[in-house]
Amino acid sequence: MIVRTRLAVGAALLLVFTQAVPASAAGPLKHNTNRYVGSAVAVQHLNAEADYKKVLTREFDSVTPENEMKWGVVEAVRGQYDWSGADAIVDYARRTGKTVRGHTLVWHSQLPDWVGGLEAAELRRVVKDHIRTEAGRYRGKIRAWDVVNEAFNEDGTRRQTVFQEKLGDRYIADAFRWAHAADPKAKLYINDYNIEGLNPKSDATYELVKSLKRQGVPIHGVGIQAHLSLMYGFPSGMKENIARFAALGLDVAITEADVRIPLPVTPEKLVSQADYFEQVWDACHAVRRCVEFTTWGFTDRHSWVPDVFPGEGAACLFDENLRPKPAYTRLNP
Ligand code: G3I
């Protein structure tokens, strides 16, 4: 009985807490900064849910296709391309005046099986062709590309992907050169998670981009995913980390921000989540060359988190009913 009463009071508090937040009193988030403000978007929701589309269109000025540009989606079968999802998002962005962050050209995940089976020389040709075909198709329509995604292990060693194992260290420089040839105006990024703060993985990324710049490889930015969890604490040294990349003459983008909450959600945890989002936002705004703040989806209605981290969720700025959460209000008071 007491437990039920407590639960009821907790739920009521939570309701009051979330509903008390006015719907965008200050205007949309994109007007509260001079950075690009983006969200990952999934084409099936964009097509099926008017309220999803409305909030995305109102709040953000950049979109990143969540899955639609990945190799496994665009060329699941060798030689058979499916651009339907990617085209729809690029079209939506053009119609609504948004820029597009392309995601992603070379990644070990969501990679079709047929790619993994190729021998080295053919793999190299296929990677070049994939980059040329995809970046070439959207030439002039992509503001920034995540060219290489998640190339490092946590200890700073290279992740042993099919690309690393068969093509060696040089595959990264090659990928950037091929992407640049296909779309010379797009800003080209390396992108990774757990490189928010100062740690062995961000050190390795730093050393790599420094060396690529020294060799004249066309790399323009570092994408910091920023998938954070209240369970692990806020990464230390984020501002310093962003600043050291910028000092190399590179742009920095926050590319996939979200903050997972260990369930159940409580008003206190929503405040902590707001603290985390604000710290990421502030770290980006502290460095002139941090040019973008993108979240990995914007509503708890659709998020990759519960599938991958059972027991955690509610990682976005808006709740399942598209009401702004305290984190949203913190960024856009
Ligand atoms: O499209 C199929 C559908 O036909 C099928 O019925 C269904 C059954 O599971 O799967 C659907 O594909 C899923 C796809 O998302 C679309 O919903 C895949 O199984 C699922 O693995 C895939 O997950 C994506 C994940 O990347 C893949 O690793 C997430 O949506 C996406 O948010 C996530 O995004 C990544 C970034 O690209 C890179 N950084 C980390 C981030 C989070 O993991």
Please give the Cα distance from 101 to 296 (Å, whole number). Answer: 12
Specify the pLDDT at position 25.
57
225 within ligand 1 shell (Cβ under 6 A): yes
Is the CB of residue 68 below 6 angstroms from any atom belonging to ligand 1? no
> Given ligand 1 and candidates 67, 84, 258, 309, which is best to mutate, with the most ligand atoms within 8 Å of its CB?
67
Question: pLDDT at residue 17 above 50?
Answer: no
pLDDT digits (tens, 9 = 90+) for 120-172: 999 999 999 999 999 999 999 999 999 999 999 999 999 999 999 999 999 99
Q: Say yes or no: CB of residue 309 within 6 Å of ligand 1.
A: no
CB-based contacts of 328: which residues, under 8 Å, 6+ apart?
A: 21, 29, 317, 318
Catalytic residue selected from 66, 256, 292, 312: 256
Q: What does the pLDDT look like over 212-262, one tens digit per residue?
A: 999 999 999 999 999 999 999 999 999 999 999 999 999 999 999 999 999
Q: Please confirm, yes or no, whether 150 is among the known catalytic residues.
A: yes
User: For the whole model, what pTM was predicted?
Assistant: 0.93
CA distance to 37, 53, 224, 225, per residue, from 50 (Å):
21, 5, 30, 28
Q: Kindly report the CATH class assigned to 11-331.
A: alpha beta
CB 2 within 8 A of CB 10: no
pLDDT score of 26: 76
Contact 165, 214 (CB under 8 A): no
Residue 264: asked if its preceding bond is cis (omega within 30°), the reply is: yes
Q: Give the percent of the chain with pLDDT over 90.
A: 92
Query: How much distance in Å is there from the Cα of 307 to the middle of ligand 1?
Result: 9
66 lines ligand 1 (CB under 6 A): yes
Nearest to 302 by CA among 16, 11, 49: 49
The string of pLDDT tens digits covering residues 279-314 is 999 999 999 999 999 999 999 999 999 999 999 999
Residue nearest to atom 30 of ligand 1 (CA): 304
Tokens linked to 294: 């993108």
DSSP assignment letter at 298: S
**Ligand 1 pocket test: which of 69, 304, 307 has the largest number of ligand atoms within 8 Å of its C-beta?**
304
Dist. CA 304 → ligand 1 center (Å): 7
Active-site pick, 59, 66, 68, 150: 150
Q: Residue of the nearest CA to atom 9 in ligand 1?
A: 307
Read off the pLDDT band of 14 (50, 70, 90).
very low
Amino acid at 38: G
71-108: per-residue pLDDT in tens? 999 999 999 999 999 999 999 999 999 999 999 999 99
